[in-house]
Chain A
Amino acid sequence: MSAVAEVTRLAALGTGLAAVVAGALALVVTRRPLPALAVLLDLLLAAGLLRLAGDPDWQGIVTAAAIVALRHLIGVGLRAGGRAWTGPRPPAASAQEKSAL
């Protein structure tokens, strides 16, 4: 294993650990899981990219691709969920509420 690959492997491990710590900190501070998950996934992505540096074997490539795909999938899901919670309310729902009042 080359020196660059060894350094990036260690850096990927450290970044993964930092991701867990930063995600936990964000969860404790904000008390909201979505921003904490976003922080965790961003740093995990950095770890995945570092894992791809050097000379990765097929297993390393598949693992990094799975991390990247999973992160993207969760990110899309989070944004869709966030829009559903914070987006404008449909006019039918607000009219229904007014008539109920």
Chain B
Amino acid sequence: MEELLAEVVNVLVVIVEACGAAVIIIGAVWAFARFAWVGFRQRTTAAFVPVRLTLGRFLALGLEFQLASDVLRTAVAPSWEELGQLAAVAAIRTALNYFLSKEIAEERRQVAAEQDHHEVTSTDHRGSGV
């Protein structure tokens, strides 16, 4: 019974981890294509920020999958060595997820502040023109 559980959990871990890796790979490929597009077409620093924000969201989603696979792995961790490695990887991923979400929130705040600033400036210009 225990062996069957270990086998099922191992299969689930591989599936969930592959999903997380797929999300990160798709995000990286998409972001690289968008970086190239923005670089060749728009050529402005501000155009890179939304792409970085979306890449951050992809990475956060991939991290959630990978953390889920870490949680599944704790169901079957036979040796202290494996448990130690699992704890280290889970700690890195958890810290990264925390900091990544903080960075995304900070960048979104900055983008919103810049948009507000542009709107106020354009309203002032229109007002002085009348």
Q: Name B17's contact: one of A15, A38, A42, A53 (CB within 8 Å).
A: A53
Bound-state Cα–Cα, A39 to B62, Å: 18
Please tell me if the beta carbons of A43 and B89 are within 8 angstroms of each other in the complex. no
Interface size bracket, A side? 35 or more
B56 and chain A: residue at smallest CB distance:
A42
Q: Among B1-9, B40-48, B121-129, which stretch is in contact with chain A? A: B40-48
> How far in angstroms is the closest Cβ of chain A from B61?
11
Encode A10-45 as 1/0 by CB contact (under 8 A) with B. 010001001001100110111010010011001101
In Å, the complex CA distance between A35 and B85 comes to 34
CA A53 to CA B88, docked complex, whole Å = 13
B35 touches A46 (CB 8 A): no
Q: From residue 20 to 77 of chain A, which have CB atoms closer than 8 A to chain B? A: 21-22, 25-26, 28-30, 32, 35, 38-39, 42-43, 45-47, 49-50, 52-54, 56-58, 61, 64-65, 68, 72, 75
Cross-chain contact A61 with B92 (CB below 8 angstroms): yes
A96 within 8 A of B: no
- Is B62 within 8 A of A29, CB to CB? no
Q: Are A30 and B14 closer than 8 Å at their CB atoms? A: no
Q: Nearest Cβ in chain B — how far from A93, in angstroms?
A: 22
Asked if B45 and A32 make an inter-chain contact with CB atoms under 8 angstroms apart, the answer reads yes
CB distance A61 to B48 under 8 Å? no
Q: B39: which A residues are within 8 A, CB to CB?
A: 22, 25-26, 28-29
